[in-house]
Amino acid sequence: MIAEMYKRREKLGYAFLGFLLLIIVGWFLLQPPETTSEWLEMLFLLMPIGFIVSIILISRSQYNKVKDVQIPNSEQQLLNLNHVVIKKDATLIPRLLLFEKDGKYIGMVKPLKIPWWLYPISIFRDSMLVLFPLTYGFISHDGETQFTFLKKGWLKQVKLTIFDQENNQIGTYIQEELKALFHIKGELFNEKEEPILSIKASGFSGDFSWKDEEGNQWAYFFNGKFPHEYTEIFRDTHNDIVELSDKLSKQDKPRLLAVIGYLFMARIKQ
With 0-12 CB in 10 A as exposed, 13-18 as middle and 19+ as buried, what is 33?
A: middle
Q: What is the CA radius of gyration of the chain?
A: 21
Nearest Cα neighbor of 253 from 240, 268, 242 is 242
* Protein fold of 78-267: Porin (2.40.160)
Q: What is the mean pLDDT of each run of 10 residues along the chain (270 residues)?
A: 73 81 80 74 75 80 70 83 87 86 90 82 70 92 93 88 95 81 87 94 86 93 78 71 91 95 78
Residue 220's pLDDT is 93
Q: Which residues in 224-254 are b (16+ Cβ under 10 Å) and which e?
A: eebeeebeebbeeeebbbbbbbeebeebbbb
Residue 18's pLDDT is 85
Residue 212's pLDDT is 92
Residue 10's pLDDT is 78
Residue 36's pLDDT is 75
Residue 64's pLDDT is 74
For 1, other C-beta atoms within 10 Å of its C-beta total 18
Residue 57's pLDDT is 83
The domain segmentation of the chain, as residue ranges, is: 2-66, 78-267
Residue 2's pLDDT is 67
Residue 211's pLDDT is 94
Helix/strand/coil for 216: coil
Residue 20's pLDDT is 82
85 neighbors 108 (Cβ within 8 angstroms): no
Residue 127's pLDDT is 65
